[in-house]
Amino acid sequence: SPGRGCVMGVGARFSVIFVGMLLVTTLVLGGCAPGIPKTAVEMTIDRVTVSSLDYSPTVVLKEKGGQRYLPIAIGIAEAEAIAAEMYGVIPQRPRTHDLLRSVGAAAGGDLEYILIDDLREDTFYAKIALADGRATMVDSRPSDALALALRAKVPIYVEASVLEKAAISAPQYNSDHTW
């Protein structure tokens, strides 16, 4: 009736409260990680190799459901961290990547996915997407992002432009040692 303002019945109030709670729950608990770029390609870690010539480690990503591979040179410590997680080696004490994952989770930011998004002057660049309610992307070295992705069991993506620059159709190298 006129002059009464906005009056809602019990059912309508419940609906508004429920929708509001659902929205807050989705934003706070469900994340809000940035969307995966449409040009990103999902990859898996195929293997970690070490050259017999100079003992330099390389992580090899493989296109999920495809035939492209992306070799990325990494450091020895990162190679060990990735290989240990691939083979289920449980360290006596948490490693740096375990610590980073724990700190992120304690701060309310679970990993959503990682993205290798650029290649400039023979250097790969990556980002870690956090489901923290703010759509946060954190710059990272690809090796650290990959080690975290394995621990958190989140998807690994590579921008199509990076694959166009650096992917190979099959491993075109012989490695004497695969971890």
137 contacts 128 by C-beta, under 8 angstroms:
yes
pLDDT tens string 123-158: 999 999 988 767 789 899 999 999 999 988 999 999
pTM above 0.85, yes or no: no
Which comes out higher in pLDDT, residue 98 or 45?
Answer: 45
44 contacts 147 by C-beta, under 8 angstroms:
no
Beta strands in the chain (DSSP E): 40-50, 57-63, 69-73, 110-120, 123-131, 136-140, 156-159, 177-178
Q: Token pair of 144, please?
A: 């650290």
Return the closest-CA partner of residue 156 out of 116, 108, 98.
Answer: 116
Q: Average pLDDT of the chain?
A: 77
How far apart, in whole angstroms, are the C-alpha atoms of residue 79 and residue 143? 8
pLDDT tens string 57-106: 999 999 999 989 999 999 998 998 899 888 888 877 777 666 566 666 66
